[in-house]
């Protein structure tokens, strides 16, 4: 059985797809600017509720749906703010030790064996599919995505419990004390227009640093 995930790739306007993904589903209400600013306004009598809702999770899901549908990256503001506030370490451009390297080696081996799936925008199994940069996330290991679909996947993950699970030890990381770090986000560029994304908990990050220092001494 093929392990490729088929994602609709329609040449639609990204903003139209974004607003379409915001539709209520229970009433004619949808995304528009109203008395309370931009948000999803429901019609009177809608079972979801009257007025406006502008929850971050709904916005991230709508942005993700638009990204997957069009292949154009669409980011909701709550995702951008959360990333800026919580990824204190910033992206790290190469592995920092054996734990991160083991994740990257796993990916390289699986890719070389042709064992990974692709999103519908960069699937090499589709004739005429234009090449594009691929993104692979260690928390969803069986698929390579285009940039738009990778951003969509990150927005769906954002602020969920799984967002705070280390990609090496697979342990959930509780909220840290004030000023503490919860996760180190790493970006590892590889040859062939490929980028690996992974996150290490503070314990694994520190252990990687200690192992690297010991190996270099």
pLDDT in tens, 5-46: 444 444 457 666 766 666 666 777 666 666 655 556 677 777
Does the pTM exceed 0.95?
A: no
Q: Is residue 2 included in any domain, yes or no?
A: no
pLDDT for 33? 64
Its domain, for residue 53, covers: 14-84
CB atoms within 10 A of CB 110: 15
* Count of structural domains within the chain: 2
Over 80: is that where the pLDDT of 64 sits? yes
Least confident of 45-54, 78-87, 88-97, 205-214: 88-97
Helix, strand, or coil (residue 134): strand
pLDDT for 1? 37
Indicate if 57 and 158 belong to the same structural domain: no
Q: Which of 84, 109, 129 finishes a domain?
A: 84
- The better pLDDT of the pair 22, 117 is held by 117
Indicate if 107 and 177 belong to the same structural domain: yes
Distance CA 155, CA 71 (A): 15
Indicate if 132 and 206 belong to the same structural domain: yes
Q: What is the mean pLDDT of the chain?
A: 78
- The better pLDDT of the pair 165, 76 is held by 165
């Amino acid at each position: 059985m093929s392990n490729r995930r088929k994602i609709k790739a329609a040449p639609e306007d990204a903003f139209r797809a974004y607003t379409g993904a915001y539709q209520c589903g229970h009433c004619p209400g949808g995304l528009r600017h109203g008395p309370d600013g931009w948000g999803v306004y429901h019609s009177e009598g809608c079972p979801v509720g009257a007025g406006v809702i502008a929850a971050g999770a709904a916005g991230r899901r709508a942005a993700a749906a638009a990204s997957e549908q069009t292949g154009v990256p669409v980011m909701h503001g709550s995702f951008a703010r959360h990333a800026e506030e919580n990824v204190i370490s910033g992206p790290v451009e190469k592995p920092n030790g054996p734990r991160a390297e083991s994740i990257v080696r796993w990916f390289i081996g699986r890719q070389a064996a042709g064992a990974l799936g692709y999103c519908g925008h960069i699937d090499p199994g589709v004739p005429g599919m234009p090449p594009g940069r691929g993104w692979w996330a260690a928390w969803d290991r069986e698929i390579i995505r285009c940039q738009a679909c990778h951003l969509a996947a990150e927005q769906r993950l954002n602020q969920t419990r799984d967002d705070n699970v280390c990609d090496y030890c697979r342990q959930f990381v509780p909220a840290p004390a004030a000023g503490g770090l919860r996760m180190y986000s790493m970006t590892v560029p590889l040859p062939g227009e490929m980028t690996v994304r992974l996150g290490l908990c503070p314990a694994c990050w520190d252990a990687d640093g200690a192992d690297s220092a010991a190996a270099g001494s």
